[in-house]
Structure 1
């Protein structure tokens, strides 16, 4: 089931999205504040998209589309368990032409609303590099609060940097 925000549509991702995902994951500017992992071929990305289990309670992966239908990023709610009602959120916009125009904020709100309403989550968590001010601004804007600090867990340009752990309860979404 797709989810709609004011500016974005969240929809399931599939093999047809492999080229975009591969391109974003190999763009240093897009991946600047993320754990990159190891380089993969387009074929490996397509295989992962093809073989991953379909969206279900424990792991929901959405492509973020702008009104014209262009795939501009992804958002994922994962690690959810019915016993705890908590999921982790990952998000990024891979198409840099759409940065700073409200799409990420709308995608965050839409994904969180989906998590709280459709998945019946009680809490959504994420981690963010403390120097990633653009992301932190968005997270705070939609209601996430810092709950802790993970010291020196992210390596960037030869330096170890801290991350915030952040959380959003169902009634806190703005």
Structure 2
């Protein structure tokens, strides 16, 4: 069984396109720009507004959270901030965790960054971290994300009906997971 402070020593994860580094206030300016993206709010179902002080405090507290892992997704070629990848809602008794990712805007979409970041996180979570299950939720109006998750091995488990009201319309959330015992698609 993984320890309660599993993410105390959060690793840097490196692929061909991206490098995932522990999230800190070093990315504050780019993080704020990403949070301000209208499309990000829609894709994540976030109605909240984030102010600078609140965001800076959040970023500076990530290293103290040993029951979750928060990474900055950086483009490997130039270090540009592309978004964040997170393992949260850690359940040590059941060796399970939730996964979420957001990319910082249209400049980061469609280039394989999200797919590679997701694969890197899954390889770590289901490998060295010793977890058995990684789950996530994705809204029904986000087929691009769903395709990424399926390419990385997530399987559809079910549908939570009408969990998000966005611009006057109800949307479902699709629940997906991958288990350590599931076959993983090749990269």
TM-score > 0.5 by shorter chain = yes
Aligned pairs (5 A) from 1:96-135: 96-135=106-145
Equivalents in 1 of 2:15, 2:91: separation in Å?
25
1:65 is matched with which residue? Answer: 74
Aligned length: 173
Cα gap change, 1:6/1:28 in structure 2, threshold over 3 Å: closer, same or farther? same
Equivalents in 2 of 1:26, 1:42: separation in Å?
11
Equivalents in 1 of 2:62, 2:70: separation in Å?
10
Per the normalisation by structure 2, the TM-score is 0.87
For the pair 1:29 / 2:54, whether they are aligned, the reply is: no
Equivalents in 2 of 1:35, 1:53: separation in Å?
26
Residue 116 of structure 1: CA displacement? Answer: 1.1
Residue 107 of structure 1: CA displacement? Answer: 0.5
Residue 98 of structure 1: CA displacement? Answer: 2.2
CA-based RMSD of the aligned residues comes to: 1.4
Q: Is the 8 A contact 2:24 2:62 kept in 1?
A: no
**5+ long unaligned stretches in structure 1:** none
For the pair 1:50 / 2:60, whether they are aligned, the reply is: yes
Per the normalisation by structure 1, the TM-score is 0.93
Equivalents in 2 of 1:140, 1:166: separation in Å?
9
Please identify, of 117-126 and 164-173, the stretch whose mean Cα deviation from structure 2 is larger: 164-173
Residue 163 of structure 1: CA displacement? Answer: 0.7
Q: Is the 8 A contact 2:13 2:21 kept in 1?
A: yes
- C-alpha offsets along residues 76-111 of structure 1, whole Å, 9 cap, x if unaligned? 001112210110001011142121011110000001
